[in-house]
Amino acid sequence: MLQKFLNHINTNFSFLKDKKLLIAISGGVDSVVLTHLLSALNFNISLAHCNFNLRGKESDLDEVFVIKLGKELKVPVFTKQFNTTQFSKENNQSTQIAARELRYSWFQKLAEQHSFDNILTAHHADDHIETFLINLTRGTGLEGLTGIPEINGNIVRPLLKFSRNDIFTFVKENHIDWREDKSNASTKYIRNKIRHQVLPILKEINPSLLETFAKTTAHLKESQQIIEDRIEKVTPEILIIEEKVLKICIEKIAAFSNPKAYLYQFLKRYNFTEWNDVYNLLSAQSGKQVFSKTHVLLKDRTFLLLFKKEPSPVFENVFFIDKNQTEITKPIQLQFEDIKEKSTENKQTIYIDKQLLIFPLKLRKWENGDFFYPTGMKGKKKVSKYFKDEKFSLLEKQNTWILCNNNNHVLWIVGHRQDNRFKITKQTSTTFKISLLG
C-alpha cells in the first residue's frame, strides 16, 4: 500500500516537489498519512493545526500530538486556538461552518505571511461522495454535484483518489499513530449520518460505489466544462463593466431559451441564494432590488446592475466644508480656491460668487423636494425631474453628490449642473472656484 500511495503522488503531484507546502493537519488518520507520505518523499512541508476548543482536553491533546509529530519529522508546525462557539454565535453559523471559515481563513493568512505555494488537505474518496450527497440533499447546481475539486486555486488534495479503507490499511501496515476524534462516531451532524447510515447501505448495493462515483463525477465535470465554454463565449455580448458596476443586458439575456440558468452562471460567485427573485428582476419595474450578503442586483430599465454593498452606506452621511478649507478627499475629491479671473467652465469646475455662500457648505445626497435653477435653463426644476430628464440610472442617482449652502439651497449637482443663482456676475467681488478632481 505504501508504494501505491507514493507512486500516485510522484506521478500526479510531481509539480509540488519544488514548492513550499503547508499541510492542514487535524491529527486524524487522513492528515497524518498525508504528512508521513510527503515527508518520506522529502517534500518541503510545514504543518498547520487548528484547535477549535470544541472537545475540551481532547482538543488540547490533538494539538500536543501534532507538535510532537512535527518534531519527530523535523518539520515546522503552526498552531492556533479559536473560540469557535463564540464565533459561530456571533455570525449565526453552525459550528461546522464556523470552523471551516476559521480554518481556511487562517491557512490563507499563513500562506501569505510565509510564502507557501500551496495548502494541502487530506480529503479522500469517501469525503468526496459524502460532500456530493450533502449537496444533493440540500439542493445544488452542477458544481455541487461534481464534489470536491482535486485542485482549487492554491489548495491541493493529493489523497482524493483513495478510500478511507485504503488509508486505514496504510496506517496498520506501517504502524503509524494518529488521533481519533470521537465526535466522528456521532450522528449529530449530517455528514456523520451519511457516513454511518447512508453510505454503508449504498456500498452494500454496489460494492464498487467509489469507483462508480469517480466515473460519474468525471462525466459531470465534462458537462460543466461545456457550460463554462458557452458562458465564456456569450459573456462579451451580455455583460458590460463600467467602473465598479457590472451591467447585464436584459434584452439579450431574455432572448436565451433559459435566462434563469444563464443568470445563475453569471452571478453564482456573488452569493445570491434566491434565484427565482433574481430571475423575476428581468420583468420587474425599475428600482426593484435583490440582495445577497455581499452585493446588490438592481433593475434599471434595460439593464440589471450589480454592485457591492456599502458596509455603512455613504449616502446617509452629510459632509461639511468650512470656509478656510482648500480641499476635501472624502467622499469625493473637491478643491476650493479664491481666484481673480474665471477661466473656461466645464462639468468638473464651477465658479461661484463667494459673497452668496453660507458656510459651512454641505455635501450630501439628493433628497425629495430638492430643487435648483439649472444654468442654461429658465426657472427652477426639481432635482428628481432633472435626473429623469437627463436619463440618470437609479445607480447614478445614488452615486451623485449635491453641494449645498448651509441653508440647503443647491449650489451644484456635482459633475453635472450648477445653480444659476450663485453664478458670478459683473458685480462679483470674490470668485470662488470649485473643482471636482479624479
**% pLDDT > 90, the chain:** 72
* Domain annotation covers residue 284: yes
Query: Residue 419's domain is classified under what CATH number?
Result: 3.50.40.10
Domain that residue 295 falls in? 243-308
Q: Examine the domain organization and report whether 67 and 187 are in the same domain.
A: yes
pLDDT at 293: 86
Q: Which helix (H) or strand (E) holds 118?
A: strand 118-120
Asked if residue 314 has pLDDT above 70, the reply is no
C-alpha torsion 403→404→409→412, nearest 10: -20
Query: Out of 10-19, 91-100, 121-130, 190-199, which region has the weakest mean confidence (pLDDT)?
Result: 91-100
Across 68-93, average pLDDT = 93
Last residue of a domain, one of 259, 288, 308: 308
pLDDT confidence of residue 421: 93
Average pLDDT over all residues of the chain: 91
Instruction: Give yes or no for a contact between 132 and 221, defined as CB atoms under 8 angstroms apart.
Output: no
Whether 138 shows a pLDDT value over 90: the answer reads no
pLDDT at 267 over 60: yes
Report how far apart, in Å, the C-alpha atoms of 211 and of each of 34, 170, 286, 411, 417 are: 21, 19, 51, 72, 68
Mean pLDDT of 262-273: 92
Q: Which of 32-41, 220-229, 425-434 has the lowest mean pLDDT?
A: 425-434
Residue 277 is predicted with a pLDDT of 93
Domain co-membership, 197 together with 56: yes
Q: Write the DSSP string, 138-180.
A: H---HHHHT-S-SEETTEE-TTTTS-HHHHHHHHHHHT-----
Is residue 427 domain-shared with residue 369, that is, in the same domain?
yes
At residue 106's C-alpha, the angle toward residues 104 and 110, to 5°, is 115
Answer whether residue 237 is part of any domain. no
| 282, 387: one domain | no
Q: 92 with 43, same domain?
A: yes
With bands split at pLDDT 50, 70 and 90, how would you rate the model's confidence at 315? very low
Model confidence pLDDT, tens digit, residues 44-60: 999 999 999 988 899 99
Residue 369 has pLDDT above 80, yes or no: yes
User: Based on the domain organization, do 155 and 19 belong to the same domain?
Assistant: yes
Which range has the worst mean pLDDT, 83-92, 135-144, 164-173, 303-312? 303-312
Q: Report yes or no on 34 lying in a domain.
A: yes
**152 plus 11 within the same structural domain:** yes
Residue with cell 455541487: 144
Note whether residue 421 is domain-resident: yes
**Are residue 208 and residue 250 in the same domain, yes or no?**
no
Of the listed ranges 29-38, 171-180, 394-403, 404-413, the one predicted with least confidence: 394-403
Residue 234 lies in a domain: no
Q: How far apart are CA 48 and CA 410, in angstroms?
A: 59
- Indicate if 70 and 175 belong to the same structural domain: yes
Q: What are the tens digits of pLDDT across the range 323-359? A: 889 999 888 999 999 998 887 778 899 999 999 999 9
Mean pLDDT, range 54-75, rounded to an integer: 94
Give helix 57-73 / helix 29-40 axis angle, nearest 10°: 10
Q: Is the predicted pLDDT of residue 316 greater than 60, yes or no?
A: no
Going by C-alpha positions, the residue among 133, 163, 168 that lies closest to residue 147 is: 133
| Residues 41 and 68 occupy one common structural domain | yes
Domain CATH number, residue 73: 3.40.50.620
Domain termination residue (choose one: 308, 326, 349): 308
Half-sphere CA count of 314, side-chain side, radius 13 A: 12
Which of 279, 308, 337 finishes a domain? 308
Within-domain flag for 321: yes
Packed helices 125-138 and 209-238: angle between N→C axes, nearest 10 degrees = 60
Asked if the structure places residue 101 within a domain, the reply is yes
C-alpha 350: how far from its chain's center?
Answer: 40
For the chain, the domain total comes to: 3
Cα(first)–Cα(last) distance of the chain, in Å?
64
pLDDT surpassing 90 at residue 168 = yes
Residue 310: its pLDDT value, please?
67
Same structural domain, 207 and 260? no
Say whether both 251 and 395 belong to one domain: no
94 pLDDT band, cuts 50/70/90, is confident
Residue 247 in any domain: the answer is yes
Rg (CA), the chain: 31
